[in-house]
């Protein structure tokens, strides 16, 4: 689309400039035509900077050029250049939602999730109905405002206890307050409301900081609380706050207590931001002249547990996967139980023990692991250099030791505390320290030989500590002469000191994500694939043997040996199988082990490829039967375009459901492409997926998705602000343990046919009958994955590595038993939305409005 500049209004004053603009625009268009995007982009930049009046006219070609050039830069690994281009583009078009969204996608692919999320949010604010940005935003909103914010703000008891403690402190004389990690500003507002003269708050997350500013203004405290967008560790007196404060309030604690850096923050606060502590010998100093912290301290508890659910996410539990012996895989670890060079990995995961599918068995009583006084800076400073100590734990139940569960009590002040324990009615999760070695607990004591907790590439070994019979050849520098003394406090200092231990040297292991580990342990999954692949190959062999001679192929089925080197004797043509699963997958190897198959794996990491090679060797799969796709193809776009025409794929394995319970992005596009690359009779695995769902009433899901009005948040107006980050789809749900009432049977919601992508629809109305009366708050959903006509897998299954997801309805829908509910299901791109209404039956009109109940 070329347009002559003569028709455009360009300032006439400067003919040379006009000439330059005109020439550059022509060059830009010519380069675009020649697909020389880099040069086209530079020309466009020049044109639009010199003649902004052309922006409207050229915006579409400019964007097109930018995206093409960015993709090129991306595949060349020129990341800095890529982002520079976006920056330049945004200088010209600062409110262009398409450019902003696209930059977000690049950021996301590079792993800058928060920044990506910020871009999607911005694009969506500019254009609320922009579907691409919406889908992207929903997928990442969780990073921007983590879901626990909703839970914590909905937790009346926690809010109330904090409020009381703050109010008491302020009334007792602490009148200058700093809220560290203010989130939405709630604790700072409590202090102000209690009458504190000066209140400061800091928050490191940009999104949360901006939210806090909005919230504080909406609550009429604008200018009365000074909010700083910074980490408390960077704060200085008098630069950021005029003088030291008498009270620090904070809830910067995660499930493992220390994960948000509270120890470091408090040490810094005591040294730089707080007045000196009240001296117990000389209590004469008035509270306004002494510093203190809420919470005043914490007690950490631990408990050894057996838990299959934890085990299968952290270590390989099977000796055979889909017919392949696993012994040769070597040591496989989850990122949690194994050491890592990456400092950002934590030594624990978190789980709500009470909601673990299959439950857990305590193997010991809870033990007191550590007491910390947040008002004692010497103690805080000493914590990290404390020596590792030992503990003896009487075993109370027999079982396999899978993990240590850890939780804590937060002592807000002398009177009041909050507990995050597994038996508590709390929104908190517990920290899970998976243990590396499988140990049985047969008699009265744990028998541990080599149990360890690893962190940051170092290992904390429990062996010496826990085996009472083992001779102590190396008591270590602490050399505690009396191990029975205060034994429990010792394990804990052990926990507290995780990471300060010396490294026990590099070890030979491969790291897999928890979900990848659970996938390997998922035997039904692999057996199903094995059977489906075997069936396909048998069918194809039969088909070939019928038409065989005409194709010049042998009738006999021979195992694949060396690649046909002699052109006169091509041997039987192998069947080509491509596995494009994300992450680690052994499906390609399973295919290769069928014989007469040449399998391509899209496993990327060299360590993972090495595991597959080891497994291949150990299972007698010839080396050339397994290839790694990405070693050969630089351009990701080309992945599905091999092999050459005459060697079309017999099977392409697509990974269609993410662990979180959502359909993979671009699944249908991939299926369309894959279908074009299949040989006659070839197959895409799976050929079809069917979505199922059901009606449920679940308050838990509501509490996790939005702040439920003003009442839970101490009367402060917070909900409308943080609820901008509500997403309608909940992911990573354990449907089997979700606290909910089922209000219907499960019902088929949607079918995705991967073998005939044109046959798919995007909207569907489904009628489902309520089996009980109640309020429908959500529609959890899962998938039946059909590999072929006979073999299918459910993503809602005990052994599954998949979690489920749920659409939370915009407004709960009241139903009576027997009512018919109409679900309008939409699958746009790969994101699902569902709305529900009562199906009006003939003669029953007029009752519909009366059964709809708005949210509180």
Told to check if 718 binds ligand 44T by CB under 6 A, we report: no
Of the pair 231, 541, the CB lying nearest ligand 44T is at: 231
Q: How far is residue 484's CA from residue 849's CA, in Å, rounded to a whole number?
A: 69
3-state secondary structure labels for all residues of 441-508:
ECCCECCCCCCEEEECCEEEECHHHHCCCCCCCCCCCCCCCCCCCCHHHHHHHHHHCCCCCCCCCCCC
Kindly list the strands in the beta sheet with 626-628, ordered across the sheet, starting from the edge strand earlier in the chain: 626-628, 597-601, 575-579, 649-653, 678-685
Count of residues in contact with ligand 44T, rule CB under 6 A:
25
What binding mask, one character per residue, do residues 324-363 give for ligand 44T by CB under 6 A, x or -? --------------------------x-------------
Ramachandran bin of 583, using left for φ above 0, alpha for ψ from -120 to 50, beta for the remaining angles = left
Token output for 421: 């324990």
Q: Give how far Cα 3 sits from Cα of 22, 32, 41, 89, 621, Å.
A: 10, 14, 18, 22, 61
Please select the residue that binds ligand 44T; options are 251, 402, 516, 819, rule is CB under 6 A: 251
Of the pair 148, 575, the CB lying nearest ligand 44T is at: 148
Strands (E), 354-429: 361-362, 367-373, 399-400, 403-411, 417-419
- Determine the interface stretch with ligand 44T among 31-39, 231-239, 335-343, 449-457 (rule: CB under 6 A): 231-239
Told to check if 191 binds ligand 44T by CB under 6 A, we report: no
- Determine the interface stretch with ligand 44T among 228-236, 375-383, 393-401, 490-498 (rule: CB under 6 A): 228-236
Told to check if 233 binds ligand 44T by CB under 6 A, we report: yes
Of the pair 203, 579, the CB lying nearest ligand 44T is at: 203
Told to check if 132 binds ligand 44T by CB under 6 A, we report: no
Told to check if 265 binds ligand 44T by CB under 6 A, we report: yes
Give the closest residue to 257 by CA, choosing from 501, 579, 492, 583: 492
> What angle, 0 to 180 degrees and rounded to 10, lies between the N-to-C axes of helices 55-75 and 15-33?
50
Secondary structure (DSSP) of 319-345 = SEETTEE-GGG--EE-TTTS--S-TT-
Q: How far is the CB of 408 from ligand 44T (least distance, A)?
A: 12
* 250: β partners: 180
Ramachandran bin of 730, using left for φ above 0, alpha for ψ from -120 to 50, beta for the remaining angles = beta
Q: How far is residue 320's CA from residue 329's CA, in Å, rounded to a whole number?
A: 11
Of the pair 187, 599, the CB lying nearest ligand 44T is at: 187
Q: How far is the CB of 361 from ligand 44T (least distance, A)?
A: 23
Helix, strand, coil distribution of the chain in percent, nearest 5? 35, 20, 40
Of the pair 58, 140, the CB lying nearest ligand 44T is at: 140
Backbone angles phi, psi at 118, to 5 degrees: -60, -40
- Determine the interface stretch with ligand 44T among 22-30, 180-188, 592-600, 829-837 (rule: CB under 6 A): 180-188
Give the closest residue to 205 by CA, choosing from 655, 722, 593: 722
Of the pair 181, 728, the CB lying nearest ligand 44T is at: 181
Token output for 175: 């009148």
Please select the residue that binds ligand 44T; options are 104, 183, 185, 661, rule is CB under 6 A: 183
Of the pair 78, 229, the CB lying nearest ligand 44T is at: 229
* Angle value at C-alpha 260, between 256 and 265, nearest 5 degrees: 125
Told to check if 249 binds ligand 44T by CB under 6 A, we report: no
Told to check if 704 binds ligand 44T by CB under 6 A, we report: no
- Determine the interface stretch with ligand 44T among 257-265, 462-470, 594-602, 694-702 (rule: CB under 6 A): 257-265
Q: How far is the CB of 348 from ligand 44T (least distance, A)?
A: 12
Q: How many CB atoms lie within 10 A of CB 562?
A: 10
Told to check if 274 binds ligand 44T by CB under 6 A, we report: no
Please select the residue that binds ligand 44T; options are 31, 48, 178, 255, rule is CB under 6 A: 255
The residue nearest ligand 44T at its CB is 181
Cα 248 to chain centroid distance, Å, stands at 32
Q: How far is residue 102's CA from residue 120's CA, in Å, rounded to a whole number?
A: 9
Q: How far is residue 444's CA from residue 465's CA, in Å, rounded to a whole number?
A: 16
3-state secondary structure labels for all residues of 689-756:
EEEEECCEECHHHHHHHCCCCCCCCCCCCCHHHHHHHCCCEEEEECHHHCCCEECCCCEEEEEEECCC
Backbone angles phi, psi at 210, to 5 degrees: -65, -40
Told to check if 541 binds ligand 44T by CB under 6 A, we report: no
What binding mask, one character per residue, do residues 555-594 give for ligand 44T by CB under 6 A, x or -? ----------------------------------------
Please select the residue that binds ligand 44T; options are 108, 148, 576, 649, rule is CB under 6 A: 148
Please select the residue that binds ligand 44T; options are 99, 208, 406, 695, rule is CB under 6 A: 208
Of the pair 734, 839, the CB lying nearest ligand 44T is at: 734
Of the pair 152, 532, the CB lying nearest ligand 44T is at: 152
Told to check if 275 binds ligand 44T by CB under 6 A, we report: no
Of the pair 215, 255, the CB lying nearest ligand 44T is at: 255
Told to check if 254 binds ligand 44T by CB under 6 A, we report: yes
Q: How far is the CB of 245 from ligand 44T (least distance, A)?
A: 14
Answer whether 251's CB lies under 8 Å from 232's CB.
no
Of the pair 268, 333, the CB lying nearest ligand 44T is at: 268
To 10 degrees, the CA torsion angle through 478, 479, 481, 484?
70
Q: How far is residue 702's CA from residue 539's CA, in Å, rounded to a whole number?
A: 50
- Determine the interface stretch with ligand 44T among 250-258, 455-463, 608-616, 666-674 (rule: CB under 6 A): 250-258
Q: How far is the CB of 383 from ligand 44T (least distance, A)?
A: 17
Please select the residue that binds ligand 44T; options are 96, 97, 179, 203, rule is CB under 6 A: 203
- Determine the interface stretch with ligand 44T among 14-22, 66-74, 203-211, 569-577 (rule: CB under 6 A): 203-211
Answer whether 365's CB lies under 8 Å from 414's CB.
no
What binding mask, one character per residue, do residues 611-650 give for ligand 44T by CB under 6 A, x or -? ----------------------------------------
Told to check if 261 binds ligand 44T by CB under 6 A, we report: yes
Told to check if 272 binds ligand 44T by CB under 6 A, we report: no
Three-state DSSP at 788 gives coil
Of the pair 43, 161, the CB lying nearest ligand 44T is at: 161
Of the pair 9, 239, the CB lying nearest ligand 44T is at: 239
Please select the residue that binds ligand 44T; options are 73, 393, 427, 589, rule is CB under 6 A: 427
Q: Is beta strand 403-411 parallel, antiparallel or unpaired with respect to 297-306?
A: antiparallel
Please select the residue that binds ligand 44T; options are 180, 249, 446, 612, rule is CB under 6 A: 180
Token output for 76: 């060349």
Answer whether 459's CB lies under 8 Å from 453's CB.
yes
Q: How far is residue 196's CA from residue 514's CA, in Å, rounded to a whole number?
A: 47
Of the pair 228, 838, the CB lying nearest ligand 44T is at: 228
Answer whether 734's CB lies under 8 Å from 429's CB.
no
Query: How many Cα atoms sit within 13 Å of 822 on the Cβ side?
Result: 10
Please select the residue that binds ligand 44T; options are 81, 114, 260, 513, rule is CB under 6 A: 260
Q: How far is the CB of 696 from ligand 44T (least distance, A)?
A: 21
Told to check if 421 binds ligand 44T by CB under 6 A, we report: no
Contact set for ligand 44T, span 292-331 (CB under 6 A):
none
> What angle, 0 to 180 degrees and rounded to 10, lies between the N-to-C axes of helices 55-75 and 37-50?
150
Of the pair 133, 152, the CB lying nearest ligand 44T is at: 152
Residues that bind ligand 44T (CB under 6 A): 148, 151-152, 180-181, 183, 202-205, 208, 231-233, 251-252, 254-255, 260-261, 265, 350, 427-429
């Amino acid at each position: 689309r070329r347009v002559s500049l003569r028709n455009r209004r360009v300032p006439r004053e400067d003919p040379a400039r006009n000439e330059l603009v005109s020439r550059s625009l022509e060059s830009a268009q010519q380069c675009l035509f020649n697909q020389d995007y880099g040069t086209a982009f530079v020309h466009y930049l020049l044109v639009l900077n010199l003649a902004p009046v052309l922006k409207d006219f050229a915006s579409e070609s400019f964007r097109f050029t930018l995206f093409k050039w960015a993709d090129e830069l991306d595949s060349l690994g020129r990341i800095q250049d890529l982002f520079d281009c976006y920056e330049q583009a945004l200088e010209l078009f600062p409110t262009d939602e398409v450019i902003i969204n696209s930059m977000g996608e690049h950021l996301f692919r590079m792993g800058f999730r928060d920044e990506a999320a910020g871009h999607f949010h911005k694009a969506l604010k500019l254009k609320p109905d922009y579907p691409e940005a919406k889908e992207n935003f929903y997928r990442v909103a969780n990073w921007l405002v983590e879901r626990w914010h909703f839970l914590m703000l909905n937790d009346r008891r926690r809010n109330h206890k904090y409020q009381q403690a703050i109010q008491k402190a302020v009334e007792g004389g602490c009148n200058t307050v700093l809220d560290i990690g203010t989130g939405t500003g709630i604790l700072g507002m409590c202090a102000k409301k209690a009458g504190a003269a000066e209140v400061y708050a800091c928050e490191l997350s940009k999104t949360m900081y901006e939210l806090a500013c909005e919230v504080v203004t909406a609550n009429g405290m604008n200018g009365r609380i000074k909010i700083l967008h910074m980490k408390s560790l960077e704060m200085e007196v008098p630069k950021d706050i005029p003088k030291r404060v008498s009270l620090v309030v904070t809830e910067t604690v995660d499930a493992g207590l220390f994960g948000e850096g509270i120890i470091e923050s408090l040490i810094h606060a005591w040294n730089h931001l707080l007045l000196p502590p009240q001296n117990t010998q000389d209590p004469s100093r008035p509270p306004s002249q002494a510093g203190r912290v809420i919470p005043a301290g914490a007690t950490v508890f631990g408990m050894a547990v057996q838990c299959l659910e934890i085990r299968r996410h952290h270590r390989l539990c099977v000796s055979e996967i889909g017919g392949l012996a696993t012994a040769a895989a070597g040591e496989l670890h989850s990122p949690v139980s194994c050491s890592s060079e990456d400092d950002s990995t934590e030594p624990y995961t978190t789980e709500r023990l009470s909601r673990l599918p299959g439950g857990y068995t305590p193997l010991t009583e809870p033990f007191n692991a550590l007491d910390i006084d947040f008002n004692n800076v010497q103690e805080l400073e000493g914590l990290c250099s404390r020596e590792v100590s030992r503990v003896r734990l009487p075993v109370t139940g027999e079982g396999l030791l899978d993990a240590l569960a850890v939780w804590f009590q937060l002592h807000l002040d002398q009177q009041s505390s909050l507990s995050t324990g597994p038996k508590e009615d709390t929104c908190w999760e517990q920290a899970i320290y998976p243990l590396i070695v499988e140990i049985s607990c047969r008699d009265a004591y744990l028998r541990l030989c080599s149990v360890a907790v690893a962190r940051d590439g170092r290992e904390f070994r429990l062996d010496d500590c826990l085996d009472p019979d083992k001779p102590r050849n190396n008591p270590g520098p602490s050399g505690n002469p009396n191990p029975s003394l205060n034994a429990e406090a010792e394990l804990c200092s052990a926990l507290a000191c995780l990471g300060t231990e010396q490294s026990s040297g590099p070890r030979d292991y491969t790291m897999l994500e928890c979900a990848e580990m659970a996938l390997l342990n998922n035997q039904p999954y692999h057996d199903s694939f094995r059977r489906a692949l075997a069936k396909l190959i048998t069918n194809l062999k039969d088909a070939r043997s019928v038409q065989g001679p005409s194709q010049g192929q042998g009738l006999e089925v021979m195992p694949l040996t060396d690649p046909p080197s002699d052109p006169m004797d091509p041997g039987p043509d192998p069947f080509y199988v491509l596995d494009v699963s994300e992450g680690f997958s052994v499906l390609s190897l399973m295919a290769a082990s069928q014989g007469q198959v040449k399998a391509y794996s899209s496993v990327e990491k060299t360590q993972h490829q090495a595991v597959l090679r080891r497994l291949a060797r150990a299972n007698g799969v010839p080396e050339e039967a397994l290839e790694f796709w990405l070693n050969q193809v630089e351009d990701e776009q080309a992945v599905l375009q091999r092999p050459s025409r005459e060697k079309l794929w017999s099977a392409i394995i697509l990974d269609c459901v993410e662990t979180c319970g959502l359909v993979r992005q671009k699944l249908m596009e991939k299926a369309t492409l894959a279908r074009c690359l299949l040989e006659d009779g070839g197959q895409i695995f799976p050929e079809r997926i069917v979505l199922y769902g059901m009606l449920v009433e679940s308050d838990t899901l509501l509490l996790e998705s939005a702040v439920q009005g003003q009442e839970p948040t101490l009367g402060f107006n917070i909900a409308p602000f943080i609820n901008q980050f509500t997403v309608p789809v909940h992911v990573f749900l354990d449907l089997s343990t979700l606290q909910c009432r089922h209000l219907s049977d499960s019902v088929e919601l949607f079918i995705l046919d991967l073998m005939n992508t044109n046959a798919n629809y995007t909207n569907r109305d489904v009628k489902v009958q309520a089996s009980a009366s109640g309020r429908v708050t959500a529609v959890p959903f899962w998938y039946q994955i059909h590999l072929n006509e006979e073999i299918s897998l459910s993503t809602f299954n005990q052994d599954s590595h998949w979690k489920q997801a749920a659409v939370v309805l915009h407004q709960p829908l009241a139903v009576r038993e027997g009512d018919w509910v109409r679900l309008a299901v939409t699958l746009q791109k790969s994101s699902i939305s569902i709305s529900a209404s009562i199906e009006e039956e003939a003669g029953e009109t007029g009752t519909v409005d009366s059964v709809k109940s708005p949210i509180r």
